[in-house]
Amino acid sequence: MKNLNIKAFGGLLFLLVALGALLFIPAGTFAYWQAWVFLAVFGFCTLAVTIYLMKKDPALLERRVKAGPGAEKEQTQKIIQSVASLAFIGIFIVSALDHRYSWSAVPLYATIAGDVIVALGLIAVFLVFRENSFTSAVIEVGKGQKLISTGPYAIVRHPMYAGAFIMLLGVPPALDSWWGLLAVIPLILAIVSRLMHEEKFLVKNLHGYGQYMKKIKYRLLPFVF
């Protein structure tokens, strides 16, 4: 348990340092208050979720720390995750360059709204974690895993991805960029490709998922998709 907590805290610290590098190096300055505020919001929310999982659901925390292309079991998912990782990095680099060269004119209220959207997206992801202890970072069906159709799963079939999309849409304006929103598109396409592949896997391997798909028609956004 202690090693797991250290690994989780270490992973979070590494992520925040990496995000800082992706922002401040392209921006060419540390005088980038939008980046500092974003890192504070993102860091506080992810730290709170991490501490919650440490105390309430260490099994889920262990599933979440095993992430990334290397953790995937299928080659298709390794490729999708690699593309998603590069696209994720691109969002921050483009946003930081946008700030540096003033390509966008982002008003203060939009920057604040972006940080609020980031927080709301992460809260949505937390609600998914609280509802489903088997929300692994890789596509798999764990031992004893059962179909979850309550809470956010009663609204859309992939609420964690929906929460991630909300968060991602808030990142560029929070970082003083509109052009960064274009960089979000490849990541959204990669995630959609991932969830389509995931659904095929779950139909075959998770009892009742086919019926669940008939009951809950929308994957990410009610009445749209």
Domain boundaries of the chain, sorted by first residue = 2-215
The third-level CATH classification (topology) of the domain covering 2-215 is Four Helix Bundle (Hemerythrin (Met), subunit A) (1.20.120)
**pLDDT score recorded for residue 137:** 76
* Stated pTM of the model: 0.91
Look at residue 8 in the predicted model and tell me its pLDDT. 86
What's the rounded mean pLDDT across residues 156-179? 96
Mean pLDDT computed over 89-117: 97
Could you give the CA distance from residue 152 to residue 131 in angstroms, rounded to a whole number?
8
Look at residue 70 in the predicted model and tell me its pLDDT.
62
Residues 220, 165: contact at Cβ < 8 Å?
Answer: yes
Structure tokens, 33: 């208050």
CA-angle at 178, arms to 189 and 171, nearest 5°: 65
Q: What is the mean pLDDT of residues 203-215?
A: 93
List, for residues 192-206, the tens digit of each pLDDT value.
Answer: 999 998 999 899 999
pLDDT band with cut points at 50, 70 and 90 for residue 69:
low
Split at pLDDT 50, 70, 90, the class of 67 is low
Confidence bin at 109 (pLDDT 50/70/90): very high
What pLDDT is stored for residue 1 in this prediction? 64
pLDDT category at 60 given cuts 50, 70, 90 is confident
pLDDT the model gives residue 223 = 87
Share of the chain above pLDDT 70, in %: 96
Q: Which of 71-85, 99-113, 117-131, 180-194 has the lowest mean pLDDT?
A: 71-85
DSSP 46: H
Specify whether the CB–CB gap between 69 and 81 falls below 8 A: yes
Radius of gyration of the chain (CA): 18
Provide φ and ψ at 55, rounded to 5°. Answer: -85, -40
Poorest-confidence range of 26-40, 57-71, 81-95, 194-208?
57-71
Residue 155 structure tokens:
């609204």
